[in-house]
Structure 1
Amino acid sequence: MKKTQLKKIQLKVNALLAAVLMAAGLGILAPAPAAADPYCGQAWGSLVKTDPAMSQAKVVNVRTGQHYCFDRLVIDLNGPVAGYTVRYVPAVVQDGSGLPVPLRGQAFIQLTVNAPAYDDAGNPTYNPPNKNELADLAGYQTFRQVAWAGSFEGYSTMGLGVRARLPFRVLALPGPDSGSRLVVDVAHFW
Structure 2
Amino acid sequence: MRLRSALVALVVVLGGLVAGVGGAAAATPYCGITWGSTAKAGGKLSTAPLGEVRTGQHGCWDRVVFEFAGPADGWSVAYGETYTEGQGLALSPYTAGGALLRVSLRAPAYDGNRVATVPYRTGEHVANPLGYRTLRDVVFGGSFEGYTTFAVGVRARLPYRVFVLDGPGTHSRIVLDVAHRWQA
Q: How would you bin the TM-score normalised by the shorter chain? A: 0.7 to 0.9
Higher Rg: 1
Answering whether residue 78 of structure 2 is matched by residue 92 of structure 1, we say no
How far apart, CA to CA, are the structure 1 residues paired with 2:63 and 2:40?
A: 16
How far apart, CA to CA, are the structure 2 residues paired with 1:23 and 1:153?
A: 73
Shift of 1:26: 3.5
Counterpart AA for 1:49: K
Contact 1:144 1:161 in 2 (8 A): yes
Deviation string 1:18-37 (CA, Å, 9 cap, x unpaired) is xxx9767436x935431531
Counterpart AA for 2:96: R
Q: Tell me what 1:163 maps to.
A: 155
Deviation string 1:127-180 (CA, Å, 9 cap, x unpaired) is 326842101311111111110001011000000000100001111001111001
Q: Tell me what 1:132 maps to.
A: 124
Q: Tell me what 2:24 maps to.
A: 34
How far apart, CA to CA, are the structure 1 residues paired with 2:38 and 2:10?
A: 43
CA root-mean-square deviation: 2.2
Q: Tell me what 2:63 maps to.
A: 72
Q: Tell me what 1:187 maps to.
A: 179
Give the secondary structure class of the aligned counterpart of 1:120.
Answer: coil
Answering whether residue 120 of structure 2 is matched by residue 144 of structure 1, we say no
How far apart, CA to CA, are the structure 2 residues paired with 1:51 and 1:86?
A: 9
How many residues in Structure 1 have an aligned counterpart in Structure 2? 171
How far apart, CA to CA, are the structure 1 residues paired with 2:123 and 2:51?
A: 14
Counterpart AA for 2:157: R
1:58 corresponds to which of 49, 62, 72: 49
Instruction: Report the more deviating stretch, 54-63 or 105-114.
Output: 54-63
TM-score of the pair, normalised by structure 2: 0.84
How far apart, CA to CA, are the structure 2 residues paired with 1:178 and 1:52?
A: 17
Show structure 1 runs of 5+ residues with no match.
Answer: 1-20
What are the residue-to-residue correspondences of 1:13-28 with 2, within 5 Å?
25-26=11-12
Counterpart AA for 1:96: G
Q: Tell me what 2:165 maps to.
A: 173
Give the secondary structure class of the aligned counterpart of 2:175.
Answer: strand
What are the residue-to-residue correspondences of 1:93-108 with 2, within 5 Å?
93-101=83-91, 102=93, 103-108=95-100
Deviation string 1:32-55 (CA, Å, 9 cap, x unpaired) is 431531111211111111015111
Contact 2:47 2:146 in 1 (8 A): no
Show structure 2 runs of 5+ residues with no match.
Answer: 1-6
Q: Tell me what 2:104 maps to.
A: 112
Contact 1:24 1:30 in 2 (8 A): no
Instruction: Report the more deviating stretch, 50-59 or 92-101.
Output: 50-59
Instruction: Report the more deviating stretch, 146-155 or 50-59.
Output: 50-59
Counterpart AA for 2:102: Q
